[in-house]
Structure 1
C-alpha cells in the first residue's frame, strides 16, 4: 500500500491529520505538499488534508479519526474509501 498524505504548509488541519495518523500507527506514508504544484492545488486545494492509497486510487478526505483511518487501511487495494 503506497499511502500519500496531501497537505499544505502551515495547515492546522494537516497537523491534526498527522496526529490522527500517528495515533492510528499508520505505516510509512509520503507527505506531499500541494502549495507549489498547480495541478495538485487544483485537485486538492479545497480538500486537504487527503489520505490517498496510490495502489487503489482511493482517497480519504478530512475529517477522519483513528477508526476511520483503520477501516480505510483495512479495505486495501480491493476497494473502498472516498473518492
Structure 2
C-alpha cells in the first residue's frame, strides 16, 4: 500500500482533476490517500497556496504545473508499497 498525501482546497477544478487521476490509478496501484485542505494549516497554506493541487508520493512531490497521469503513475510505480 502506497502512502499518498494530497494537498487541496475547496472549489478547485484542478484539484478535482488530480483526484480523478488518483482514482483511476487506484486500480493498478493500491494507495492510502490522506487529503489535506491547505486552509486548515498555516504552514501548508504558505507553502502550497500557488501550487495546488500538490501530491506527495514517497519523496516525490508533484504540483499543479507537473500534474499528469504519467507523472503520478511514475511516482506510484517507483514508490515502495
TM-score, normalised by the number of residues in structure 2: 0.79
CA distance in 1, matches of 2:73, 2:40: 30
Moved over 4 A (4+): none
Q: How many residues align?
A: 75
Matched, 1:70 2:73: yes
Structure 2: runs of 5+ lacking an equivalent: none
How much has 1:35 moved relative to structure 2? 1.1
Higher strand share: 2
CA distance in 1, matches of 2:75, 2:40: 28
Equivalences for residues 16-27 of structure 1 within 5 A: 16-25=17-26, 26=29, 27=31
How large is the Cα RMSD of the aligned pairs? Answer: 1.6
Structure 1: runs of 5+ lacking an equivalent: 78-83
